[in-house]
């Protein structure tokens, strides 16, 4: 007897204002299957999965779990039905151990009241061994590598009883070696009878790990296919609704003897805090700090960083997240003070595309058009005699929306109503349209679809060709190898190597990123 699908979603509809996020979407997940969902920004894939996990309520449609019609009003109900979600930004508590995080809200007890961590530890160690994980359960999560934190998230979901895992951009923060480890884990879970849904933009990874793929476009499901019956080009064309035309961007090398940005022996101590607020760095003068007492024993976030970025160059920064890239960007954008060393900037205007758009890139509750002038609100184009010029702001915003293909319902709506990818496009458009001399781009294409990512790439290369300096931080090694003139690799707060893309490969970069070379 054929089993019913473990998940079936029928004619799901969801509307936000004037935007139809999901329009009569059907989705089916079979037991023991890895099912990938792909699509452009705003295609509706994340909305669909948030409905399945109880974060949104559908306007219309039905959901069946194991053939039974269900209502999922909350994540708690989803978990009771056997669903779990591993989100792109981990939900672990840093100061808790891995074990404490895993059992949180489901702590085992003995004698009715006493916590029984020993029982939980034995159960979780057996589960970890089954999946091939090596998670030090009694170590605080903040001390664990990113890949191990992700394993902790997976163990947490499984410990809480999930038979169905939803994974949002699961490889976004992993080195190549860690990605293969994750794929092995996913295959083991499938072999154990678990079912997995992955949301991703990486078509090569879809081909490597998925059994089935669903393509979404403009809120609708346009195709579902066994992975053996498709290929990356076909998937891309279905995502875009048009043929994919290969593009090339002219790269004109501009030699300059004077760096736009220079860091000499820059150190940031572990006990230094980020500055409150956001300050753009606009000084031509060198910024210096002196060494502190030798008894300082804290491990530094940045350790004796030596780096130069020249006009007409894209300098890539590679590294597994948590190895100093965030602190480097914070130093360069005025969010963090250096502890010792010196920093020199030979320019006035800086563009900052932040890794965390919600904290440093946009104001979620403010209008979409107002978000286009953050940091530029005193510009005479937008403000006269202390009054914002609403028509000028709207005109500039509408031009950028069209130029960057940003899909919205109403320009007066809060920017939080946009998809994450479209929010990112607003940040990129605002920063690159400001004619900067130095562009600090931290994960600028994270969450962007094919068209948008290619457009951002072309803009960065065009800026480089106009003698602008670009510092590109990315976890996408393909992106770094394609765009960069040089790549500096960070590990444990240090620069452990600077290589040319033509003289290296992903495996060598991955080894440097993991401190293996």
Among the ranges given (139-143, 178-182, 245-249, 452-456), the one the predictor scored with the smallest mean pLDDT: 245-249
Domains of the chain and any CATH numbers: 7-82+163-240 (3.40.50.300), 96-160 (no CATH), 262-272+283-349+435-517 (3.40.50.300), 363-432 (no CATH)
Phi, psi of 92, deg, nearest 5:
-80, 155
pLDDT at 274: 54
% the chain with pLDDT above 90: 48
Averaged pLDDT score across all residues of the chain:
86
CB 316 within 8 A of CB 488: yes
pLDDT at 282: 37
What CA–CA distance (Å, rounded) separates 211 from 230? 11
- Which residues, at least 6 apart from 303, have a Cβ–Cβ distance to it below 8 Å? 267, 324, 492, 493, 494
What CA–CA distance (Å, rounded) separates 340 from 290? 5
CB 176 within 8 A of CB 164: no
pLDDT at 25: 97
pLDDT at 276: 41
pLDDT at 169: 82
The confidence band for 52, taking pLDDT boundaries of 50, 70 and 90, is very high
Q: What tokens appear for 124 in the block?
A: 């979780």
Strongest mean pLDDT among 46-55, 138-147, 270-279: 46-55
Among the ranges given (141-155, 231-245, 286-300, 439-453), the one the predictor scored with the smallest mean pLDDT: 286-300
Averaged pLDDT, 463-468: 91
What CA–CA distance (Å, rounded) separates 108 from 113? 9
- What are 55's strand-pairing partners? none
Beta strands per DSSP E along 319-375: 340-345, 350-353
pLDDT digits (tens, 9 = 90+) for 452-464: 788 889 889 989 9
pLDDT at 387: 87
Alpha helices by DSSP H, listed for 172-300, are: 176-191, 203-209, 232-240
Describe the crossing of helices 232-240 and 450-465 by its angle, rounded to 10 degrees: 90
pLDDT at 296: 39
pLDDT at 471: 97
What CA–CA distance (Å, rounded) separates 310 from 295? 36
pTM, to two decimals: 0.72
pLDDT at 281: 40
What CA–CA distance (Å, rounded) separates 223 from 44? 14
% the chain with pLDDT above 70: 90
- Which residues, at least 6 apart from 337, have a Cβ–Cβ distance to it below 8 Å? 268, 272, 275, 289, 331
**Is the confidence at residue 196, as pLDDT, over 60?**
yes
CB 93 within 8 A of CB 87: no
The confidence band for 298, taking pLDDT boundaries of 50, 70 and 90, is low
pLDDT at 294: 36
What CA–CA distance (Å, rounded) separates 462 from 231? 31
Among the ranges given (163-177, 267-281, 407-421, 430-444), the one the predictor scored with the smallest mean pLDDT: 267-281
pLDDT at 159: 92
Q: 94 to each of 42, 100, 310, 375, 425, how far by Cα in Å?
A: 32, 10, 37, 32, 30
What CA–CA distance (Å, rounded) separates 142 from 146? 9
Averaged pLDDT, 321-346: 89
Residue 432 burial by Cβ neighbours in a 10 Å radius (0-12, 13-18, 19+): buried
Among the ranges given (161-175, 214-228, 314-328, 502-516), the one the predictor scored with the smallest mean pLDDT: 161-175
Question: To 5 degrees, how large is the angle CA 447–CA 450–CA 456?
Answer: 75
Averaged pLDDT, 178-194: 88
CB 27 within 8 A of CB 48: yes
Closest CA to 61 of 70, 79, 53: 70
Averaged pLDDT, 492-510: 93
**Is the confidence at residue 177, as pLDDT, over 80?**
no
Q: How many CA atoms lie within 13 A of 168 on its CB side?
A: 18
Beta strands per DSSP E along 334-468: 340-345, 350-353, 383-384, 387-388, 438-442
**Is the confidence at residue 411, as pLDDT, over 70?**
yes
pLDDT at 292: 38
**Is the confidence at residue 417, as pLDDT, over 80?**
yes
CB 94 within 8 A of CB 143: no
Beta strands per DSSP E along 41-130: 60-65, 68-70, 83-86, 109-110, 114-115
């Amino acid at each position: 007897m054929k089993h019913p699908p473990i998940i079936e979603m029928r004619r799901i509809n969801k509307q936000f204002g004037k935007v139809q996020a999901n329009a009569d979407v059907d989705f089916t997940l079979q037991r023991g299957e890895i099912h990938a969902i792909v699509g452009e920004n705003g295609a509706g894939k994340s909305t669909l999965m948030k409905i399945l996990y109880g974060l949104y309520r559908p306007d219309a449609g039905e959901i069946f779990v194991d053939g039974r019609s269900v209502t999922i009003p909350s994540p708690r109900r989803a978990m009771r039905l056997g669903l779990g979600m591993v989100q792109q930004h981990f939900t672990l508590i840093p100061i808790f151990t891995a074990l404490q995080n895993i059992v949180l809200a489901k702590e085992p007890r003995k004698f009715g009241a006493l916590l029984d961590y020993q029982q939980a530890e034995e159960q979780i160690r057996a589960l970890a061994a089954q999946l091939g994980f090596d998670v030090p359960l009694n170590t605080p999560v903040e001390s664990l590598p990113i890949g191990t934190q992700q394993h902790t998230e997976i163990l947490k979901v499984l410990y809480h009883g999930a038979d169905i895992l939803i994974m949002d951009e699961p490889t976004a923060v992993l080195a190549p070696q860690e990605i293969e480890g994750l794929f092995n884990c996913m295959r083991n879970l499938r072999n154990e009878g678990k079912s997995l849904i992955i949301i991703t933009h990486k078509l090569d990874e879809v081909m490597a790990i998925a059994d089935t793929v669903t393509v979404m476009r403009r809120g609708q499901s346009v195709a579902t296919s066994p992975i053996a019956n498709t290929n990356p080009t076909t998937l891309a064309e279905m995502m875009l609704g048009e043929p994919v035309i290969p593009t090339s961007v002219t790269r004109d090398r501009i030699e300059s003897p004077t760096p736009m940005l220079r860091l000499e022996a820059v150190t940031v101590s572990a006990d230094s805090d980020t500055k409150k607020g956001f300050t753009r760095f606009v000084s031509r003068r060198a910024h210096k700090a002196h060494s502190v007492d030798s008894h300082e024993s804290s491990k530094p976030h940045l350790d004796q960083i030596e780096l130069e970025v020249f006009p007409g160059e894209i300098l890539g920064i590679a590294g597994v997240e948590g190895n100093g890239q965030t602190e480097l960007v914070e130093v360069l954008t005025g969010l963090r003070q250096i502890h010792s060393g010196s920093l020199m900037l030979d320019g006035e205007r800086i563009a900052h595309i932040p890794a965390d758009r919600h904290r440093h890139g946009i104001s979620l509750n403010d209008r979409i058009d107002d978000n286009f002038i953050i940091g530029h609100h005193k510009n005479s184009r937008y403000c006269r005699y202390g009054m914002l010029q609403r028509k000028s702001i709207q005109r500039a915003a509408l031009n950028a929306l069209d130029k960057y293909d940003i899909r919205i319902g109403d320009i007066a709506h809060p920017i939080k109503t946009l998809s994450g990818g479209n929010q990112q496009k607003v940040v990129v458009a605002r920063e690159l349209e400001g004619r900067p001399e130095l562009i600090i781009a931290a994960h600028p294409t994270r969450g962007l679809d094919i068209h948008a990512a290619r457009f951002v790439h072309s803009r960065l290369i065009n800026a480089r060709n106009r003698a602008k300096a670009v510092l590109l931080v990315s976890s996408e090694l393909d992106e770094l190898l394609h765009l960069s003139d040089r790549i500096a690799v960070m590990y444990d707060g240090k620069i452990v190597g600077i290589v040319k893309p033509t003289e290296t490969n992903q495996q060598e970069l991955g080894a440097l990123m993991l401190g293996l070379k």
